[in-house]
Structure 1
Amino acid sequence: MEMNQTQRLPVPKQVAWEALNDTALLKQCIPGCESIEPDGDNAYLLALTAAIGPVKARFKGRMALQDIQAPDSYTIQFDGQGGAAGFGKGSAHVRLDAEGEETLLSYTVNAQVGGKIAQIGSRLVDAAARKMADSFFTRFTEALGGGAQEAAAQEGEGSGQDKNQDGSQDSSQGGGQSDEPKRKRSWTAWISKS
């Protein structure tokens, strides 16, 4: 499995770096995380519960930080066992880039799973991994001072599209105007085309 993602954080780069190295904060943000304890230099023992498709298991594993280029990037090597559910191992390269008062966090994960988890199928495993990553970044962004609505607003600005309250997207750039005139214009444009 390979997964790439970029996330905008509402804090300067140094603050983001410190937060990524704060085990108490990470424990709060990682879905299902029960504990993160030091295990030598730049290494940690983790315990977490995760549900992947119909398989729910408690995983214990080790995470080590390597290739540390503070405050720009590091690589996380991980290896976890979930008993009869199977195992997961791999690496994640995490990079921070400053963008004014905000930080762009990019990561690439390469992972292998085995046991019952592998039998579930790659689509379910990928979907569960993406859901966990999304949940982590929602919590992480909120913990750094950006609320969920603020993060959603930044996400909408980045894509050039606004989301209405009903979840539909509006690609016009009229910002700040009510939905009524926008609908009228598009309806008028549609009539004039016919």
Structure 2
Amino acid sequence: MEMQGSRALAATQQQAWEGLNDPEVLKACIPGCERIERVADDRFNVGLAIRVGPVAAKFTGKITLSDVQAPRSYTLAFDGQGGAAGFGKGTAKVELAPAGSGCDLAYAVQAQVGGKIAQVGQRLIDGVARSMAEDFFKRFDAEMQRRYPPAGAPAAAPTPAPERPTIAPWLWIVIAAAVAAVGYWLLR
């Protein structure tokens, strides 16, 4: 599966970078995110639970960051296991660029899925992945506007900036799409 796109964000490049690297922001924006644990400066363990109708699946995974160029870009490699549901692995390149008073976020994801997930069909998996990406962006935009309201708007309670980079959301989007696709397949 390949997916790429871009999105204009109201947040500045630095604000978006901090949000994309803040585990609490990611937990709030990614449906089903249960945990994000740092195991090294460039490696993380993650957990995700998704419910589709009566079917629930849990995925655990590992993320490795590389080519980190704060606050502009990074590449991440991910490998997630969902037991009988299958697996997902791949890479994602995330780039931020200033644009007016905000910034543009561009992404390119290449992923492979296997097990029962792969039996659902590529077309369905692609559709679910795009839907999950859109849901993530809506939540992320809302969180950034809550944290960094436009001039003249009442400010939200300040949130401390993260101390060091963590995970990008694209792994979660791919894993969540795969889990949703498995749930759909099991419901059929």
**What TM-score results when the alignment is normalised by the length of structure 1?**
0.71
Q: Trace 1:3-152 onto structure 2 (pairs within 5 A).
A: 3-50=3-50, 56-145=56-145
Answer yes or no: is the 8 Å Cα contact 1:86–1:117 preserved in 2.
yes
The Cα shift of 1:127 comes to: 1.2
Runs (4+) of structure 1 moved beyond 4 Å? 51-56
Q: Distance in 1 between matches of 2:141 and 2:122?
A: 28
Equivalent pair of 1:53/1:125 in contact (CA under 8 Å): no
Distance 1:86 1:52, change over 3 A: farther
SS in 1 for 2:40: coil
Query: What secondary structure sits across from 2:60 in the alignment?
Result: strand
Residue 128 of structure 1, CA deviation: 1.4
Answer yes or no: is the 8 Å Cα contact 1:53–1:124 preserved in 2. no
Deviation, structure 1 residue 50: 3.3
TM-superposition CA deviations, 1:121-178 (whole Å, max 9, x none): 00111111111111111100000007xxxxxxxxxxxxxxxxxxxxxxxxxxxxxxxx
Cα pair distance change 1:54/1:124, threshold 3 Å: farther
Specify the code of the residue in structure 2 equivalent to 1:64: T
Distance 1:107 1:9 in 2: 13
In structure 1, stretches of 5+ residues that fail to align are 147-194
Bigger RCO of structures 1 and 2 (CA < 8 A, at least 6 apart): 2
Number of residues of Structure 1 aligned to a counterpart in Structure 2: 147
Greater mean deviation of Cα atoms: 88-97 or 11-20:
11-20
Quick check: which has more Rg, 1 or 2? 1
Are residues 53 and 93 of structure 1, via their aligned partners in 2, closer, same or farther at CA, if it must alter by over 3 Å? farther
Distance 1:107 1:88 in 2: 18
Q: In 1, Cα distance between the equivalents of 2:54 and 2:4?
A: 25
Quote the RMSD (CA, aligned, Å): 1.9
- Which region of structure 1 is more displaced relative to structure 2, 108-117 or 51-60? 51-60
Q: d(CA) in 1 for partners of 2:5 and 2:31?
A: 18
TM-score by length of 2: 0.74
